[in-house]
Structure 1
């Protein structure tokens, strides 16, 4: 394998590091968040930004080595389209099934208009 340009190496490494960060944050969000609606947010962002960044880094490496393929581009587009749509459908199904949310209702403040006579 031929040595790549140092700037291209740095760009690919940076994309992989940023992607790994988003995937780690998404995994921690799945562990930390309490209920379904909060947990729904973490994997959609992790898959879109994390996996998308890895695939873009793979496209850059393939283009630099002369093996540019359309596979990575198609996978990236598929993930960018399906992750938000599937999250939306899961949220609608949970609302339809009346899944409890841990967010609760906002507390009323004492200085609100309802508290005054």
Structure 2
């Protein structure tokens, strides 16, 4: 009973992080902030969902596979985001400049 509760909490928390990641793609203003939001939130969300799955099933084969997936994601997601960001920067994709914040304007 308690393992089902903990499993449900982990899966729900992971689902919320994945949802926030999807909202980050929509709401963030440029490529670099979108990439940051999606890689961090989605990696954490998938890790939490897989942890909840491991707690629910309590099988050695599922546990091994989930741990392998989590390690693979934690190793590849930051590298992929770095490569995409570096390529975007080399192609001239500019950073988002906030309008109306007063930066770069003279006083008076």
CA distance in structure 1 between the aligned counterparts of 2:97 and 2:44, rounded to whole angstroms = 25
Task: Supply the RMSD in Å over aligned alpha carbons.
Answer: 2.1
**Bigger share in helix:** 2
Corresponding pairs, count: 104
What is the Cα deviation at residue 22 of structure 1?
Answer: 0.4
Q: Report if aligned partners of 1:22, 1:46 keep a CA contact under 8 Å in 2.
A: yes
TM-score (norm 1): 0.78
Structure 2 residue ranges without an equivalent (≥5): none
**In the aligned structure 2, how far is the partner of 1:96 from the partner of 1:48?**
26
Match runs of 1:39-54 below 5 Å: 39-54=34-49
2:71 aligns to what?
77
Match of 1:7 among 2, 5, 17: 2
Of structures 1 and 2, the larger Rg is shown by 1
Unmatched 5+ stretches in structure 1: 1-5, 112-117
